[in-house]
Amino acid sequence: MSGPDLRAVTLVEAVNLALHWEMAHDENVVVLGEDIATNGGVFRATVGLKEAFGYKRVMDTPLAENLIAGTAIGMATQGLRPVAEFQFMGFIYAGMEQIVSHAARMRNRTRGRLHCPLVYRAPFGGGIHAPEHHSESTEALFAHIPGLRVVIPSSPQRAYGLLLAPIRNPDPVLFLEPKRIYRAVTQQVDNNGEALPLDTCFTLREGEDVTLITWGACVLETLQAADRLAAQGITCEVIDVATVSPLDRDTLLCSVAKTGRAVIVHEACRNGGVGAEVAASIAEGAFLDLQAPVVRVTGYDTVMPYYRNEQAYLPQVGDIVEAVEQVIAL
């Protein structure tokens, strides 16, 4: 029996690794999107796939997001497992009609006779000095849609396991990749084809004083804030939500019951964000455990600014530390 196939990879390389594995082990998996075949994708997430699996399974599409979304649905209902890429999340809106009206409803509409085992991939979020429609975090738009999972990895290991799981899932999944940390961290990933569970939060750090709830790229700043607060004698429990819809409320409520305080961190704008749903869930399920109001550290209710003001928009380590100090003082 061979040993583990450990590889030091970045998040975007982990995505590539997972796609290679699943395509090698399931001939029904196909990949499509703009510039994903010959060029290997704008972020190189699909590099090498066309050479390994051929143009019939790795397909360049026109610049037409509605076509990409709809074609993937047709493929999925007829037995394939498509992984369709939107070049940036800011381009996904042209495909929303297909995603919301058809992919998410196919199982219900046909009373289970058809289903949609497909994955929509999209790089999202700010931090790379791109224009505003390349830098948005609008996961809440899709978290509101029944029948559609929304998954956001926060590390190479999480990206690998959380991409394998949606490809194998019988229903549609929106897999949002935080491009700000595409190459920020390198981790050892065992290329063994093991998926991570969906619909589950991951507790990254145990603590007693406050629960820090976050997902995606903000996990990086949240862990750094937890380190800084530990030096002050404040222990933080850090939870990576990972699947923002459906929420793993049990893990969140159990943690808040232990710590009595919660700070929610996300880079999307505050109004109507996923953080509001998390806060409402805590108010409904753990109100009597709270020793202080739930606090959110978020982006602003404005269009993502250009790169000169980008860091002012994104939550910083100091913002998280200040929020924790606020709830501890109450």
Output DSSP code: residue 99. I
How many other CB atoms are there within 10 angstroms of residue 82's CB atom?
25
Tokens encoding 126: 């700010």
245: β partners: 150
- Dmax (CA) for the chain in angstroms is 61
Thinking of the domain 202-329, which architecture would CATH place it in?
3-Layer(aba) Sandwich (3.40)
13: helix, strand or coil: helix
- Give catalytic status of residue 134 as yes or no: yes
Q: What single-letter amino acid sits at 211? A: T
Domains 6-190 and 202-329 share a fold: yes
For 110, residues 6+ apart whose C-beta sits below 8 A from its C-beta are none
| Percentages (nearest 5) of helix, strand, coil residues in the chain | 40, 20, 40
How many other CB atoms are there within 10 angstroms of residue 62's CB atom?
8
Instruction: Check: CB of residue 140 under 8 Å from CB of residue 247.
Output: no
> Could you give the C-alpha distances from 197 to 207, 243, 292, in angstroms and in order?
23, 9, 32
- Per-residue tens of pLDDT for the chain, all 330 residues: 567 899 999 999 999 999 999 999 999 999 999 999 999 999 999 999 999 999 999 999 999 999 999 999 999 999 999 999 999 999 999 999 999 999 999 999 999 999 999 999 999 999 998 888 889 999 999 999 999 999 999 999 999 999 999 999 999 999 999 999 999 999 999 999 999 999 999 999 999 999 999 999 999 999 999 999 999 999 999 999 999 999 999 999 999 999 999 999 999 999 999 999 999 999 999 999 999 999 999 999 999 998 889 999 999 999 999 999 999 998
Where are the chain's structural domains? 6-190, 202-329
The pLDDT value given to residue 130: 87
Element (H, E) at 113: none
> Could you give the C-alpha distances from 314 to 64, 106, 144, 152, 243, in angstroms and in order?
30, 37, 23, 17, 21
CA proximity to 127, closest of 184, 180, 181? 180
User: Spelled out in words, what is the top-level CATH class assigned to the domain 6-190?
Assistant: alpha beta
Distance from the first to the final alpha carbon of the chain: 57
Instruction: Check: CB of residue 236 under 8 Å from CB of residue 212.
Output: yes
Q: What single-letter amino acid sits at 233? A: G
Instruction: Check: CB of residue 88 under 8 Å from CB of residue 122.
Output: yes
CB burial of 170-186 (b: ≥16 within 10 Å; e: otherwise) equals ebbbbbbbbbbbbeeee
CA proximity to 88, closest of 128, 40, 136, 145? 136
Which residue in the list 102, 134, 144, 266 is annotated as catalytic? 134
The pLDDT value given to residue 131: 82
The pLDDT value given to residue 236: 98
CA atoms within 13 A on the CB side of 98: 22
Tokens encoding 24: 């090698």
